[in-house]
């Protein structure tokens, strides 16, 4: 798990210039999503249409990118997006927690986001979660609530 966390951090900090005046930061929580139950996330602007996201969930971690249909700005707007995320999580079966089954795989969300001028956002998404080390494939929905900080 340390290896995956290091890859996420290198990906995010390697792709994003650390200039506070041009960087937008978002923080939020999602119910369900790529870590199955829920997670908190940090969302960083790469350019006007692409954002990197890193999340820590109740039973997993994830990181990846999302591409938006409209440029991101401070105006109130509705956006459609698609993404690709790598997820590392604990598999849950219907009889409770599996004793040894951690999985890693890809999550391909397609969703919508509504963001107000104040920075608050609400979103919904759905996409397949494909575990690469097991035969687990499932559609995973998510409801997201977040806040985006204004840049200086």
pLDDT in tens, 75-133: 668 899 999 999 998 877 655 554 567 889 999 999 999 988 888 999 999 999 999 98
Task: Give me the residue label for tokens 């997670």.
Answer: 39
Q: How would you write 68-137 as a 3-class SS string?
A: ECCCCCCCCEEEEEEEEEEEEEEEEECCEEEEEEEEEEEECCEEEEEECCCCEEEEEEEEEEEECCCCCE
């Amino acid at each position: 798990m340390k290896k995956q966390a290091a890859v996420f951090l290198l990906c995010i900090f390697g792709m994003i210039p650390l200039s506070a005046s041009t960087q937008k930061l978002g923080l939020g929580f999602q119910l369900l999503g790529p870590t199955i139950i829920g997670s908190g996330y940090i969302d960083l602007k790469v350019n006007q249409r692409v954002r990197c996201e890193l999340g820590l969930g109740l039973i997993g971690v994830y990181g990846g990118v999302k591409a938006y249909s409209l440029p991101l700005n401070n105006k109130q707007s509705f956006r459609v997006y698609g993404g690709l995320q790598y997820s590392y999580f604990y598999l849950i079966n219907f009889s409770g927690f599996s004793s040894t089954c951690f999985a890693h795989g890809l999550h391909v969300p397609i969703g919508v986001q509504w963001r107000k001028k104040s920075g608050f956002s609400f979103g919904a998404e759905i996409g397949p979660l494909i575990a690469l080390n097991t035969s687990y494939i499932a559609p995973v929905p998510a409801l997201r609530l977040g806040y985006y900080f204004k840049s200086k």
